[in-house]
Amino acid sequence: MVLQITKKDLKKVLIQLKNIQNNDDKQKATKGAEAGYSDGTKGLKPQSDNDILMDKDKGPAYQAAYKQAYDKAKATYDQSYNLGANAGRLDGQNGKDQASGLSQQPQGYQDGYNSQYSQAKANYDQDYKTGKSAGAQDGLAHKPISDLSNSSTGYKDGYLQSYAHSNSVYARGQDDGLNNRKSSSSDPSYQAGYQAGNETYQNGYQRGANQALSDIKNNVPDRRTGEILIPQESVFLNKINKNEQTMMLTKKNAC
């Protein structure tokens, strides 16, 4: 949005220039004020006094009006620029999308916002990527969450999101492994959890098989039902060595 000069603004400028008397100078002063407001509002460098005075269509009246109008408009531009720069920096640092409706703001605000947003957002994205990698590693290793008090917002967001994801997926894989379900994901965290869970399952299964074999050999009652186990009833029959089965059956028949 470009700041427009008003009749009231022009009147203030012209009143302050008491030495302007004739219509020609008033016209030049009006043009000078309009140009000053336009340049100041856009944040442009002011026209040099030498260039103005060397131009026969401008002169002292134009120069005086231009300077007053420019100074006022540029001060407004600078204020808007600083506000926009702060907003752009904060949006970028927090990983937000570029503000909507930016074109409806004063030119100074737009320029300030754009001067800061892109670099701040690029820094956020890079920090997010770094934090994501660290969070995945810590989550996979079941480490406590790192101290993030001195980390950037991007690093924190990436770390925490990845850490939570890694733990959640690991737990799902571990549950599938513990229950001897078929592996259902190639995700590294899932695979790590699945392998850990399935290893526990296999170890427990083998211990159960060994215990069943020992109980059968020693006529120990079924630890679940209290009944005497015979080989055909053992749920771990497929884990018993064939030679052991033959030995047991021969011994039982001899009795």
Contact 146, 159 (CB under 8 A): yes
Same domain, 240 and 156: yes
How are the residues of the chain apportioned to helix, strand and coil, as percentages rounded to the nearest 5? 70, 0, 25
Output the pLDDT for position 118.
Answer: 93
Does residue 125 sit within a domain?
no
Domain total of the chain: 2
Same domain, 158 and 239: yes
C-alpha 181/C-alpha 164 separation (Å) is 23
Does residue 68 sit within a domain?
yes
Q: Which residues pair with 221 in a beta bridge?
A: 228
pLDDT confidence tier of residue 91, bands split at 50, 70 and 90: very high
Does residue 53 sit within a domain?
yes
Same domain, 17 and 81: yes
- Predicted TM-score of the model (pTM): 0.60
Query: At 146, phi and psi to the nearest 5?
Result: -65, 160
Same domain, 87 and 149: no
Tokens linked to 218: 């020693």
- Is 17's pLDDT higher than 50? yes
Q: Which residues pair with 228 in a beta bridge?
A: 221
Does residue 110 sit within a domain?
no
- Domain encompassing residue 76: 7-93
Contact 152, 123 (CB under 8 A): yes
* pLDDT 10s digits, 98-141: 998 899 999 999 999 999 999 999 999 999 999 999 998 888 88
pLDDT confidence tier of residue 31, bands split at 50, 70 and 90: confident
Same domain, 89 and 149: no
C-alpha 205/C-alpha 157 separation (Å) is 41
Query: At 123, phi and psi to the nearest 5?
Result: -65, -40
Query: At 225, phi and psi to the nearest 5?
Result: -115, -15
Query: At 221, phi and psi to the nearest 5?
Result: -60, 150
Does residue 72 sit within a domain?
yes
Contact 66, 35 (CB under 8 A): yes
